[in-house]
Chain A
Amino acid sequence: MKRPTARPSRGAARRGHGGLARLRAGLSAWAIAHGRALVSSLGRLVSMPLSALMTVGVLAISLALPALFLLLLQNVERLSADWDRGASLSVFLDLSVEESRVQSLADELAQSPPVQAATIISPDQALADFRRMAGMDEALDLLDDNPLPAVIVLIPDPGLGAEGLQALGAEVQAADGVDSVRLDLAWVERLQSISDLLRRAVWLIAALLGLTVVLVVGNTIRLAIQNRREEIVIAKLIGATDGFIRRPFLYEGLWYGALGGLTSAVLVGGVRLALDGPASELARLYQTGPILVGPGLGGFGLLCLVGIGLGLTGSWLAVGRHLAAIEPK
């Protein structure tokens, strides 16, 4: 049996409480109008599944490609940051520098801020190392004296970039007793410029594909507006506001963006999964930490949000451009 509801009718509420109740009724009407547009626009997508699926597919790929590139970039940068840590400075001292001075210089350098550690390679040790290299043994026997200078190897702070390394090198070069400083910088610089290049390329591609999403959604919404021209005219004839007419199209764009974003997240997740095996095999061989990381839950969420944002932008552009042109005749 159906019991009578305790909720007062809208009319009673309006008579009873005035302003606040009217505001609440207005707000709930607003929310219901939006909810209706949200559901009906999704219903329209479902009613033409093939074309909707194709559009969503285009959007998903357009979103997944830059997401994958960005993921790649992120991992390259993470790995190269690891490798930067391997960079070191070799400080070759004058032959005349005495052993005690070598020690004090090493201590001095170890104290300076960007240096993490300073290791001394004495001339004897260097010669011993040298001897171990094949073919050098006999050649060295011909020499009367040890021609090798003492070397101090500096390990800089891990955070120090290529420029910081260069500055440190120049500083050390100026110190008393230093003959030359060799920076193993070239490859660090190369790697950094490669990742700079990669970063710029990836963002450019991301921007272009983002524009693709906006244009695809815009065009889809433009077609939807054209298909429903008669309906728009009739709605305007019987007093629909611009907002009422705009709303379902905006929500349609939002749905396209959201579904595109969600599908692209699935695509990225799938690609990630497919690469997981080979990546951990590579990591095992190199005995490094994980080679492929991310994008994580936040990344997937961001992808969906970006999809929604771009979808809304596209439909907003289409609606602003094409809806005003339709007036009842």
Chain B
Amino acid sequence: MIRFEHVGKRYDGGYEALQDLSFQLVQGELAFLTGPSGAGKSTLLRLIALLERPSRGHIRVADIDLSRLRRRHIPYLRRRVGMIFQDHRLLHDRTVFDNVALPLIINGIADHREISRRVRAALDKVGLLGREKYYPVTLSGGEQQRVGIARAVVTRPPILLADEPTGNLDPALSGEIMQLFIEFNRVGVTTLIASHDMELVGRLGFRRIGLLDGRLASDLAAGEAA
């Protein structure tokens, strides 16, 4: 589902964020992307959603060769990739409902009842049903992150990417958020989660792709000890 072949990313000024990186995620797999800050985790996720293009190598996402994808087709790729951010990236002047409905509207779904039904279903999955009319600022950090997750899954994308989704949360809340991802993965969503919380990630027992200074440092299969 996601395949990196000798991918390198070099920024202007010569900084090598990623070097000769190759790995593969099969459909329905859940993997954690680990490593210290600056190891290149965010850059890797950004390359998958084509927020940036690699300097070298090839990336295939859902059988699409990203290096051949034209600019005007990028939005359609991003619709198949649900993204979750550490800082939630919610619209603070819109209600929870409107935030979660935005991807549906962008997807051109016009039927009001269908939008309402799917938004409520997504909010139900993350345990926020009944908060539709709230504004994000009135919610706690963990709840805001759940709204972000609901927004990412409301269009039922085949791929979920999460960049430090528990970065600002306490251990109990972090565990709950990770459980949500595991549930989505259970219904077949290919999931890649960047996290520096080695303790939490190790406890969950999924595949861990370790990055260090932009290179692949380790690739531990599910259940394998570090």
Contact of B110 among A33, A231, A239 (CB under 8 A): A33
Whose C-beta in chain B lies nearest to the C-beta of A240? B106
- Which of B5-13, B23-31, B73-81, B209-217 is the contact stretch? B73-81
User: Is B51 a contact partner of A328 (Cβ separation < 8 A)?
Assistant: yes
Known contacts: A231-B91, A328-B51. The answer to whether A238 contacts B110 by CB under 8 A is: no
B69 → A minimal CB distance (Å)? 13
User: Is B89 a contact partner of A29 (Cβ separation < 8 A)?
Assistant: no
Interface size on A, residues (CB 8 A): 23
Known contacts: A230-B91, A239-B103. The answer to whether A29 contacts B110 by CB under 8 A is: yes
Q: Is A97 an interface residue (CB 8 A)?
A: no
8 Å CB contacts to B: which residues of A82-131?
Answer: none
CA distance A202 to B107 in the complex (A): 49
User: Is B110 a contact partner of A28 (Cβ separation < 8 A)?
Assistant: yes
Whose C-beta in chain B lies nearest to the C-beta of A242? B72
Residues of chain B lying within 8 A (CB to CB) of residue A236:
75, 78
User: Is B106 a contact partner of A244 (Cβ separation < 8 A)?
Assistant: yes
Residues of chain B lying within 8 A (CB to CB) of residue A233:
89
User: Is B105 a contact partner of A36 (Cβ separation < 8 A)?
Assistant: yes
Most buried by B among A10, A237, A242, A244: A237
User: Is B102 a contact partner of A238 (Cβ separation < 8 A)?
Assistant: yes
User: Is B91 a contact partner of A239 (Cβ separation < 8 A)?
Assistant: no
Interface bracket on B? 20 to 34
CA distance A329 to B83 in the complex (A): 13
User: Is B51 a contact partner of A329 (Cβ separation < 8 A)?
Assistant: yes
The interface bits of chain A over 285-329 (1 if a CB of B lies within 8 angstroms of the residue's CB, else 0) are 000000000000000000000000000000000000000000111
Q: Is A235 an interface residue (CB 8 A)?
A: yes
Most buried by A among B90, B91, B107, B110: B110
Q: Is B111 an interface residue (CB 8 A)?
A: yes
CA distance A231 to B98 in the complex (A): 12
Residues of chain B lying within 8 A (CB to CB) of residue A237:
49, 51, 78, 83, 89
Q: Is A32 an interface residue (CB 8 A)?
A: yes
Residues of chain B lying within 8 A (CB to CB) of residue A10:
111, 114
List 8 other contacts, CB 8 Å, given A237-B49, A237-B78, A241-B75: A10-B111, A231-B91, A235-B102, A238-B151, A238-B152, A239-B75, A239-B107, A241-B106
Q: List 16 A-B contacts (CB under 8 A).
A: A10-B111, A33-B105, A36-B105, A234-B91, A234-B102, A235-B102, A237-B49, A237-B78, A238-B79, A238-B102, A238-B152, A239-B76, A241-B72, A241-B106, A242-B72, A329-B51
The 8 tightest CB contacts between A and B, nearest first, are A239-B79, A239-B78, A32-B110, A241-B75, A239-B75, A240-B106, A29-B110, A29-B108
